[in-house]
Amino acid sequence: MSDRDGLEGLVVLAGAGAGSSALVTAEAAKWLSRAEVVVYDRLADPACLRLTAPHAERIDVGKTPGRSGPDQGQINALLIRRARAGRLVVRLKGGDPLVFGRGGEEAEALAAAGVAFRIVPGVTAAAAAAACAGIPLTDRRCASSVALVTGHEDPAKAAEAVDFDALARVDTVVFYMGVKRLADIAQRLIAAGRDPATPAAVVASAGTPGQRTVVAALGDLPARAAEAGIRPPAVTIVGEVVRLREKLRWFERLPLFGRTVLVTRPAGQAEGLSAALADLAAAVIEAPAVEIAPPADAGAAEEAVGRLGEFDLVVFTSVNGVEAFAARCRARGLDGRALSGAKVAAIGPATAAKLRAAFIEPDIVPERFTTADLGEALAAAGGLDGRRVLLARADIAAEALPEALAASGAEVEDVAFYRTLCPASLPSEAVEALRAGRVDWATFTSSSSVTNFLALLGRAGLDPSAALAGVRLAAIGPVTAETLSARGLTPAAVAEVHTTGGMVAALVAAT
């Protein structure tokens, strides 16, 4: 029995939510993680694809300006072929698959072909845009009815089916895909009896850091939206509920809304920091300035692990050090019991948490995360005179810590368990954003991230002074801040608590 029994030859029509991938439902995320094939639209946030397995086939069938893409018949045939080949297919559609998403047509084609399918609802654009703009779709004081209307009907229809006379009597009307026809929509609603002074709003790119909302009287909205340069994807909301926006516009009041932040942490380690920034409405661009690799000569690390029983204290200064140490222990068939004869020290809560995940409870975790504080904590724990200490860290780590430990009487073995390398290049998205002057903040969590990032700017043909002229810099602690200063850069935010959370707090305070 496999974990896919009964799922072969299945198509799951799933809604990706509108705007940010944060609105993907748990059910949709579950099916994405199982999918062998993902067929996705332009309006599905590309970040949703991170939820898929690395081996999953990804097929883009979205239509964009200048690129027509496959027609609906071709998409239906594609789904049927992959399912008949025994694949588990997720058809990922923006918003909800059955609300102006042609999901009904696709389900009908699957049913006619005898292909098994399921439908997973999603957060539709009307709900997402209204919530993120702070506009309730209903309110018992002024809106008891809602109509969802397409602003772009099927051109094959012989006559328009939208009944504007009926819509004029509905409390709240939401138009999808109607930016280009906004003037016509407003004119026809008013002609049908809707007061031209009715409050209305256009919400573009809802739920993303690029969200833009224009509010005006219905009669003035088309001109105001044109002046603001509103572009699809956008929805238009008409009704008295729009008046509530001024009190309820929570999303655009988040502290980092409208700011673009570069995250220079290594690939695979940026998720927590990126998520914390995104939760505050920042547009996050991951630009790894450090790569983690095994040491050039693994002999010293291998030899140190082979005689762990000789050490009185093992010190870890980073998550990377813990991961590299644990991997080497596992390769030798060792686990946390190999450290039973030694005390374990960790600099920083993230390092301590990583040790606990490996079933190693650190004995010493200084309240602050500096060499001096570690020395004080070790002294309080009984001193170091004559103790043998293993320092498991990077190949280019600073000398201050082993020197301080040796000065306290310890016999220190400073062993490189991993290397920090400079990547070949910065992602094109980061380079383009810097060139365009769209970056507001850049975050640095180590001295090597500073040094490498500046080198990568040069490789991209960017002068660091010019590229960072309008960019504010955030450092995780004083050592990283000193490295920035030494390179002629002034940090605008330095974390008091030397964690990524502390850095985000400092960045917000300085914004």
Question: Three-state SS string across 99-133, please?
Answer: CCCCHHHHHHHHHHCCCEEEEECCCCHHHHHHHHH
* Burial of 50 from C-beta contacts in 10 A (0-12 / 13-18 / 19+): exposed
User: Is the Cα torsion angle 365, 370, 376, 379 positive or negative in sign?
Assistant: positive
Give the right CATH number for 10-123 from 3.90.700.10, 3.40.50.280, 3.40.1010.10, 2.30.40.10.
3.40.1010.10
For 260-290+423-510, which CATH class? alpha beta
Q: Does domain 293-419 have CATH number 2.40.30.20?
A: no
Q: Cα 236 vs. chain centroid, distance in angstroms?
A: 27
pLDDT (tens digit, 9 = 90+) per residue, 420-436? 999 999 999 999 999 99
Tell me the chain's radius of gyration from C-alpha atoms: 28
Q: Which helix (H) or strand (E) holds 287?
A: none
pLDDT (tens digit, 9 = 90+) per residue, 320-349? 999 999 999 999 999 888 998 899 999 888
pLDDT (tens digit, 9 = 90+) per residue, 454-468? 999 999 999 999 999
List the chain domain ranges.
Answer: 10-123, 127-252, 260-290+423-510, 293-419
Active-site residue among 3, 5, 30, 41? 41
Average pLDDT of the chain to the nearest whole number: 91
Q: Convert 314-331 to b/e letters by CB count within 10 Å (16 or more is b).
A: bbbbbbbbbbbbbebbee
Active-site residue among 5, 60, 63, 96? 63
Could you confirm whether 463 is annotated as catalytic?
no
Residue 2 scores a pLDDT above 50: no
* Cα distances (Å, whole numbers) of residue 169 to 130, 190, 307: 20, 11, 81
- Tell me what percent of the residues of the chain surpass a pLDDT of 70: 95
Could you confirm whether 30 is annotated as catalytic?
no
Question: What is d(CA 158, CA 161) in angstroms, rounded to the nearest whole number?
Answer: 9
pTM of the model: 0.86
List, edge to edge, every strand of the sheet that includes 37-40. Answer: 57-60, 37-40, 88-93, 10-15, 116-120
CATH number of the domain located at residue range(s) 127-252 in this protein: 3.30.950.10
How would residue 63 be classed by pLDDT, with cut points 50, 70 and 90?
confident
- Tell me what percent of the residues of the chain surpass a pLDDT of 90: 77
pLDDT score recorded for residue 3: 52
Token output for 454? 């500046």
AA identity, residue 287: A
Query: Per-residue pLDDT averaged across 178-188, rounded?
Result: 95
Out of 10-24, 170-184, 312-326, 373-387, least confident range: 373-387
Residue with tokens 């960019």: 471
Beta bridge partners of 411: 388
pLDDT score recorded for residue 439: 98
The reply to whether 10-123 and 293-419 are identical in fold is no
